[in-house]
A and B are shown apart, each in its own frame.
Chain A
């Protein structure tokens, strides 16, 4: 009887350790439910581009990425777009891309806007604010700098100058 008692004890204690450890561990290493921040992986998306192609975030794996959210109704967004265009041209050929996601606007204003601006980096169209929500956006513009290993280096809220972008892209490419 002594031996079987010992076995029961050990089995139960191991069970408690596994189940209890799992429950406690879950609280310590909980998935951050808030918006993605530094060190997190940006939420996946699959969006239609202005070029008529479907763009998945996973298509850009291994590249340094700038994910920029913009809208025609947001003056600082509009102002910074030519800056991004210049950066895009500067780093062409590197392992680098810019994805500019429009904030779920109607077709016509976006099309008109793009025609005027002459931008050639990928412009994507969010639908019903879904991607924007997944990224936990609170104000516009917001720009995510993603390292080659797929984690976020920085989240920048507000309009950016070319200098600011350039400095960050240089750091991104070093990773």
Chain B
């Protein structure tokens, strides 16, 4: 199809041009109407508008449409709501997702899980939507920003009369006296208002805040960077998210790294009743969770199972909520804790009941005891240990778990006055277990001669609270912030400044003025009215309104 795109001023325009790039005269359908002009992108042809599009052009055109962009945004919005109906799988650490939803929410929950909505934000369709939005951001922007840049960079001062008359803000009046002098004076006034003024004899173009036109595009660049930064987390080594359980005083290896981390002490503080309002008095309201943490780097024997690794302290930090430990891109966050004290070791003595003499004390670790202890003249050989003592079905002692919930130690006592092969003695460190399993009856005769016992609480070693830390590496974070910052700059430029332009020309003593802005017509009309008032032309700002669409 042949389309004449040559304007009467002689300028050859691109296909799809709405307003002549040179003089602003409306072209094509736009020239038939009397309505204010469609000033989007200054009426230039977008890159994608061309005759005979190929299939590449068609894909390009699809993504370059703002309408499609709005559809994508709305679909993403609706899709996002689905993920908030029930908790996402990523939000619970324990529990089996395959049964969780059905158990907790019944049939709707089962359907929810079956549809994959329990992982909405990792699903292929959601990511596809984000990718499409990203594509739309790139193509929409490119498609508009370059032609717009060209159009704004080479504006002619004297525009076609129709172009002025069909602006949203229009003013016409007969001007007595020298037209050039009038234009110059008005130019002065507009300069004072911060406009850049270009004159061409009896025509004038005043412009202000053009940079704000780039705001949306800067914003889009920021958003694209942001999305790319999020995607960059899948680069190997850029992202890590794991949890460590830290009993007090034990350096624990951080999986997949060369670091070890130790919890020297964990404390919880609660508010006292004085600090609480009446209705909260007597409740436990946490004030502080703190892990005194030390980070070590392994320097030798790191993977070696037969030897203890050599650790070098590299960093220490008191981790509290809102204040993580950070070292070379590795972060450790306070996540959870378990305050239940656990029996770690006891320091009992061996008492000779007949003489009343006591030997020891010796340190008996619950999890890692020695094989034999020498106390006074006696030797205690540890023959077996039970973490949670019980009598099994076959009548033999056994253990119910691997936690020291009801520890028991089976010793052979050897020494003066005892048989050579020794006497067996079962020892329960916890008083409650001693009674429950009747230690003295089990030990029979030997119970009358010896007793292993802990003198006082000082000789009981309890482990402090266990803390749970969340270990993170997220190398992409700085790029995420850069993207967000650029986006924010774009938004501020685009929304808090406006691009305002005023064109005017005087033909045979008749002034025609047209003005355009991309936002805030109220301010635009005010600018024009107040500049005119300085030249003793009084107009009500509202009367300048030529009607039509606002953008």
Direct chain A–B contact by Cβ atoms under 8 Å: yes
Set A12, A23, A127: member contacting B127, Cβ < 8 A: A23
Interface presence of B135 (CB below 8 A): yes
* Category for how many chain B residues contact A: 35 or more
Q: Is the beta-carbon distance between B124 and A28 smaller than 8 angstroms?
A: yes
Given A13-B59, A20-B131, A112-B384, 8 extra CB contacts under 8 A? A13-B60, A23-B127, A23-B130, A46-B303, A71-B402, A72-B398, A73-B398, A107-B368
- B-binding segment of A61-69, A86-94, A98-106, A149-157: A98-106
* Category for how many chain A residues contact B: 35 or more
| Nearest neighbor of A78 in chain B, beta-carbon distance | B398
Q: A108 CA to B383 CA in the complex, in Å?
A: 8
Q: Is the beta-carbon distance between A16 and B135 smaller than 8 angstroms?
A: yes
Interface presence of A137 (CB below 8 A): no
Set B252, B255, B402: member contacting A105, Cβ < 8 A: B402
A window 7-66: CB within 8 A of B: 8-10, 12-13, 16, 19-20, 22-24, 26-28, 30, 46-48, 52, 54
Interface presence of A75 (CB below 8 A): yes
Q: Is the beta-carbon distance between B142 and A12 smaller than 8 angstroms?
A: yes
Of B127, B142, B228, B369, chain A has the most CB atoms within 10 Å of the CB of B127
Q: Is the beta-carbon distance between A109 and B386 smaller than 8 angstroms?
A: yes
Q: Is the beta-carbon distance between B400 and A19 smaller than 8 angstroms?
A: no
Q: Is the beta-carbon distance between B131 and A109 smaller than 8 angstroms?
A: no
Q: Is the beta-carbon distance between B122 and A73 smaller than 8 angstroms?
A: no
Q: Is the beta-carbon distance between B56 and A10 smaller than 8 angstroms?
A: yes
Which residues of B come within 8 Å of A, CB atoms? 47, 56-57, 59-60, 96, 122-124, 127-128, 130-132, 134-135, 138-139, 142, 228, 231, 234, 252, 255, 303, 305-306, 367-369, 371, 382-388, 392-393, 398-402
| Nearest neighbor of B56 in chain A, beta-carbon distance | A9
Q: Is the beta-carbon distance between A19 and B60 smaller than 8 angstroms?
A: no
What are 26 A-B residue pairs whose CB atoms fall within 8 Å in the complex?
A5-B47, A6-B56, A9-B57, A13-B56, A16-B138, A19-B231, A20-B131, A26-B127, A26-B234, A27-B123, A27-B124, A46-B303, A47-B305, A52-B306, A72-B398, A73-B400, A73-B401, A73-B402, A75-B392, A103-B402, A106-B368, A106-B369, A106-B385, A108-B385, A109-B399, A130-B255
**Residue numbers in A under 8 Å from B368 (CB-CB):** 106-107
| Nearest neighbor of B131 in chain A, beta-carbon distance | A20
| Nearest neighbor of B123 in chain A, beta-carbon distance | A27
Q: Is the beta-carbon distance between B131 and A24 smaller than 8 angstroms?
A: yes
Q: A84 CA to B234 CA in the complex, in Å?
A: 42
Q: A133 CA to B367 CA in the complex, in Å?
A: 20
Interface presence of A128 (CB below 8 A): yes
Q: A22 CA to B231 CA in the complex, in Å?
A: 9
Q: A109 CA to B303 CA in the complex, in Å?
A: 26
Q: A10 CA to B139 CA in the complex, in Å?
A: 12
Q: A72 CA to B124 CA in the complex, in Å?
A: 45
Secondary structure dominating the interface of A: helix
Q: How far is the CB of A16 from chain B (nearest CB, A)?
A: 5
Q: Which 8 pairs from chain A and chain B are nearest by CB?
A: A20-B131, A48-B305, A73-B399, A27-B124, A16-B135, A108-B385, A27-B127, A105-B402
Q: A8 CA to B527 CA in the complex, in Å?
A: 41
Q: Is the beta-carbon distance between A30 and B138 smaller than 8 angstroms?
A: no
Q: Is the beta-carbon distance between A19 and B228 smaller than 8 angstroms?
A: yes
Q: A128 CA to B382 CA in the complex, in Å?
A: 23
| Nearest neighbor of A127 in chain B, beta-carbon distance | B305
Q: How far is the CB of B385 from chain A (nearest CB, A)?
A: 5
Q: Is the beta-carbon distance between A109 and B385 smaller than 8 angstroms?
A: yes
**Residue numbers in B under 8 Å from A48 (CB-CB):** 305-306
Q: Is the beta-carbon distance between A23 and B306 smaller than 8 angstroms?
A: no
Set A52, A108, A127: member contacting B384, Cβ < 8 A: A108
Q: A46 CA to B253 CA in the complex, in Å?
A: 15
Q: A73 CA to B173 CA in the complex, in Å?
A: 101
Q: A87 CA to B440 CA in the complex, in Å?
A: 44
Q: Is the beta-carbon distance between B305 and A73 smaller than 8 angstroms?
A: no
Q: A107 CA to B138 CA in the complex, in Å?
A: 62
Q: How far is the CB of B493 from chain A (nearest CB, A)?
A: 24
| Nearest neighbor of A73 in chain B, beta-carbon distance | B399
Of B47, B124, B128, chain A has the most CB atoms within 10 Å of the CB of B124
Q: How far is the CB of B76 from chain A (nearest CB, A)?
A: 14
Of B228, B305, B368, chain A has the most CB atoms within 10 Å of the CB of B305
Q: A91 CA to B143 CA in the complex, in Å?
A: 70
**Residue numbers in A under 8 Å from B382 (CB-CB):** 108
| Nearest neighbor of A21 in chain B, beta-carbon distance | B131
**Residue numbers in B under 8 Å from A112 (CB-CB):** 383-384
Once A12-B139, A19-B231, A24-B124 are accepted as A-B contacts, the answer to whether A109 and B47 lie under 8 Å apart by CB is: no
**Residue numbers in B under 8 Å from A10 (CB-CB):** 56
